[in-house]
């Protein structure tokens, strides 16, 4: 299946351009037997899944979370961009997923759609992916168009929903999607090869992580959803990690490889490098290359002004690890380590039985194994160090800090966990551009919303507290 990813992606892009034709008065003369009159659901799914690349490899959130530093052009590190567009999500993956649901539901098209797998399973997977994209979006922007979105010409000016309402409905969508699954695989699935058991586990794992987002604002709901998701079955080993497989092909390779083709601009940050060095972390050689001049690992100071950053010789700082910027370097979407650190926090909060210490240590072990650096003796020595050894009094900070490390380059997830907990302790740049001296709490809406959907945009700002700024917290950020 994944050997044919390039072909699948090309087919998917062609399929999304197809629309039904009205033969009018010309009978069958206007129908091309070699081209379908409606999109192929398998290709719509492939196309939607390729849009996962952005959320898991974008550079901006790795800078917000200070996993990465910039070497020359440092405006992003200093929060020079206020407005970020979500339009591509609505016009791309979300509309494709909505079309999959429609084609598998409509009596006129569902039998044709079933050629690509059971209708119920295609709908379930589309609902799960829709939930993932909407979750990603609301965590970035806060209130967004949700219940009135994806209506096309029937509603060009959708209202915004509160983040609380969106989370409530996403929990429902994920549970209903897993409940409707039946036997049989589906076509066009480059992510999990049409395996419904894995999709069910992915949905439960997503719900578990989502539940933790509400730990400070709706702890009772958070606990109930967390326990429910855990009991339903989440990722239980690295073999079950949800991974986006990139190809050795310029059109479908890992974006980190592309970013290093023409210039060197992304380093391991000083906060990350200093932590890994202080604890003799075996992941460091994977996360970073030694500085060329010294052959030592040296983090790049974070958030410097451009002149100061450029004055540091390239050969004196460590760039992003070569292993992470190959064409085929994997993109992690949901991992076993993430589950274990989440369970460690839940145990610490008293939501579940079990030892927070055990879950925490298993999370570290899982991350070591994920990055191919696990050695039992070195692992035991690592977790025995005073800086790492679990202590209940500072348990949350330790759990989230190690989760931050394990999420290296998955910036949006690391940034969300930082906003929710305040860990690890990070220092904003000295001279930020578009925000006061704090790390951004959200991203600004696209200017097209202000210009074309003004009334609903203004209502969304009221939900946020009055301003479309980087320093306005989202609902769960208390």
Q: Where are the domains of the chain?
A: 1-22+38-50+85-233, 67-81+235-426
> What tens digit of pLDDT does each residue of 440-453 get?
999 999 999 999 99
For 306-356, the DSSP string reads HHHHHTS-GGGSPBBPGGGGSTT--EEEE-HHHHHHHHHHHHHTTSSSS-H
The span from the CA of 259 to the CA of 424, in Å, is: 27
The span from the CA of 159 to the CA of 144, in Å, is: 8
Q: Do domains 1-22+38-50+85-233 and 67-81+235-426 have the same CATH topology?
A: yes
Mean pLDDT lowest among 25-29, 208-212, 406-410, 421-425:
25-29
DSSP secondary structure code for residue 407 in this structure: T
| More confident site: 37 or 385 | 385
pLDDT category, 20, cuts 50, 70, 90?
A: very low
**Closest alpha carbon to 424 in 59, 76, 66:** 66
Task: Compute the C-alpha angle 432/438/439, nearest 5°.
Answer: 90
Phi-psi region of 300 (alpha: psi -120 to 50; beta: other; left: phi over 0): beta
The span from the CA of 464 to the CA of 475, in Å, is: 8
For the CA atoms of 200, 203, 208, 214, the dihedral, rounded to the nearest 10 degrees, stands at -150
| More confident site: 416 or 21 | 416
φ, ψ at 304 (rounded to 5°) = -70, 155
pLDDT category, 15, cuts 50, 70, 90?
A: very low
pLDDT category, 160, cuts 50, 70, 90?
A: very high
Residue 35 has pLDDT above 80, yes or no: no
Q: For position 22, what pLDDT does the model report?
A: 39
Say if strands 160-161 and 144-145 run parallel, antiparallel, or are unpaired.
Answer: antiparallel
Could you tell me the fold of the domain covering 1-22+38-50+85-233? 1.25.40
Q: For position 434, what pLDDT does the model report?
A: 83
Quote the tokens at residue 8.
Answer: 């699948």
Q: Is the model's pTM score more than 0.85?
A: yes
Mean pLDDT of 366-379: 98
Contact present, 120 and 182 (Cβ < 8 Å) = yes
Q: For position 375, what pLDDT does the model report?
A: 98
pLDDT category, 39, cuts 50, 70, 90?
A: confident
CATH placement of domain 67-81+235-426? 1.25.40.390
pLDDT category, 211, cuts 50, 70, 90?
A: very high
Residue 228 has pLDDT above 60, yes or no: yes
SS3 112: helix
pLDDT category, 1, cuts 50, 70, 90?
A: very low
């Amino acid at each position: 299946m994944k050997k044919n990813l390039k072909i699948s992606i090309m087919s998917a892009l062609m399929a999304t351009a197809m629309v039904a034709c009205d033969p009018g008065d010309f009978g069958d003369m206007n129908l091309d037997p070699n081209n379908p009159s409606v999109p192929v659901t398998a290709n719509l799914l492939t196309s939607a899944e390729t849009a996962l690349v952005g959320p898991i490899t974008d550079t901006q959130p790795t800078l917000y979370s200070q996993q990465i530093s910039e070497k020359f052009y440092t405006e992003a590190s200093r929060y020079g961009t206020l407005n970020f567009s979500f339009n591509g999500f609505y016009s791309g993956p979300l509309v494709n997923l909505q079309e999959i649901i429609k084609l598998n539901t409509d009596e006129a098209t569902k039998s044709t759609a079933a050629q690509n797998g059971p209708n119920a399973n295609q709908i379930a997977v589309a609902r799960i992916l829709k939930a993932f994209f909407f979750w990603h979006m609301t965590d970035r922007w806060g209130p967004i168009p949700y219940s009135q979105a994806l209506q096309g010409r029937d509603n060009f000016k959708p209202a915004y929903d509160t983040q609380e309402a969106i989370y409530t409905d996403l929990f429902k969508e994920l549970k209903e999607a897993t409940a409707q699954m039946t036997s049989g695989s589906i076509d066009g699935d480059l992510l999990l090869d049409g395996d419904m058991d894995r999709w069910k586990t992915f949905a439960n794992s997503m719900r578990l992580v989502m539940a933790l987002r509400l730990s400070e604002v709706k702890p009772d709901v958070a606990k109930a959803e967390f326990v429910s998701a855990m009991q339903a079955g989440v990722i239980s080993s690295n073999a079950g990690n949800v991974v986006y497989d990139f190809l050795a092909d310029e059109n479908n390779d890992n974006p980190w490889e592309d970013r290093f083709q023409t210039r060197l601009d992304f380093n391991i940050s000083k906060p990350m490098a200093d932590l890994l060095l202080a604890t003799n972390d075996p992941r460091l050689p994977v996360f970073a290359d030694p500085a060329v001049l010294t052959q030592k690992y040296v983090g790049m100071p974070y958030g410097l002004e451009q002149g100061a950053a450029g004055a540091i010789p390239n050969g004196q700082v460590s760039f992003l690890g070569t292993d992470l910027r190959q064409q085929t370097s994997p993109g992690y979407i949901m991992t076993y380590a993430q589950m274990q650190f989440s369970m460690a926090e839940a145990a610490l909060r008293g939501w579940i039985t079990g030892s927070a210490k055990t879950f925490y240590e298993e999370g570290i072990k899982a991350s070591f194994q994920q990055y191919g650096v696990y050695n039992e003796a070195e692992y035991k020595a690592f977790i025995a160090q005073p800086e790492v050894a679990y202590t209940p009094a500072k348990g949350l900070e330790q759990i989230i800090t190690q989760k931050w490390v394990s999420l290296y380059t998955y910036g949006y997830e690391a940034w969300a966990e930082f906003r929710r907990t305040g860990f690890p302790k990070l220092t904003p740049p000295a001279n930020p551009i578009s925000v006061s001296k704090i790390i951004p709490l959200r991203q600004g809406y696209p200017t097209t919303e202000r210009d074309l959907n003004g009334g609903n945009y203004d209502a969304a700002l009221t939900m946020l507290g009055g301003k479309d700024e980087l320093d306005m917290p989202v609902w769960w950020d208390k």
